[in-house]
Amino acid sequence: MFVIQNTLVSLDVLEKEFCCDLERCKGCCCVEGDAGAPVSDEELAVIDKELPSLLPQMTPQAREVVEQQGLSYIDQTGEQVLSIVNGKDCVFARTDNNGWTYCVIEKKGMAKPISCHLYPIRLNQVGEMTGVAYHRWDICHCARQLGCKLHIPLYKFLREPLIRRFGEDWYNELDLTATEWKKQCAQK
């Protein structure tokens, strides 16, 4: 673990290689799983405000879930997450005629929840600090393969969402830390 400002960053974030391979996975992370994506109260307020324009783009099943239980629920870990359909699909996920999954929120030009934008990095509270960790999921195997082939560290692949969440200064400090860490490892 490394301390970057007010965060604890897992070594995996610096060392693991990753690059989404949408040609192969077609966005299945939005329609597989057993819980919705973590979402903040602020993000829910924005989504709720835009909901009338999002509903027509959602599947009938997703609209029904939102009608019955709302945009979010508290999962078994106590975290607020987006509602899901049939125990797995995000209510904002749509699949086109070619089998590609896309986000209705993002397609409308809105910022998708930061937890979606950061994936496969997950954030959690560690006392007063925010933990920044890599979440390894089997369905992302092709992303790990492509990341290794292209030699793209996870933190570089997720540069934009990391800056969106933590700021440019934080990201620059992370990048410097990664560079120094790699130098130290090469000297051993």
Largest CA distance in the chain: 58
Rounded average pLDDT over 49-70: 95
Q: What pLDDT does 114 receive?
A: 94
Q: With left for phi above 0 and alpha for psi between -120 and 50, is residue 151 left, alpha or beta?
A: left
Mark which of 85, 119, 153 sits at the end of a domain. 119
Q: What pLDDT does 99 receive?
A: 86
Quick: pLDDT tens for 77-106. Answer: 889 999 999 888 999 999 888 888 889 999
The pTM for the full model equals 0.88
What residues make up the domain containing 66? 27-119
Q: What pLDDT does 100 receive?
A: 87
Residue 188 has pLDDT above 80, yes or no: no
Q: What pLDDT does 144 receive?
A: 92
Question: How is 167-180 classified by DSSP, letter by letter?
Answer: -HHHHHHHHHHHHH
How high is the mean pLDDT of the chain?
91
The answer to whether residues 53 and 129 belong to one domain is no
Mark which of 93, 119, 145 sits at the end of a domain. 119
Give how many domains the chain has, as a whole number.
2
- What is the rounded CA–CA span in Å between residue 38 and residue 30? 12
**Tokens 């835009």 appear where?**
50
Rounded average pLDDT over 34-41: 88
Quick: pLDDT tens for 162-181. Answer: 999 999 999 999 999 999 98
The answer to whether residues 89 and 133 belong to one domain is no
Pairing relationship of beta strands 129-134 and 7-9 according to DSSP bridges: parallel
Rounded average pLDDT over 28-38: 81
Residue 33 has pLDDT above 80, yes or no: no
- Report the percentage of the chain scoring pLDDT > 70: 99
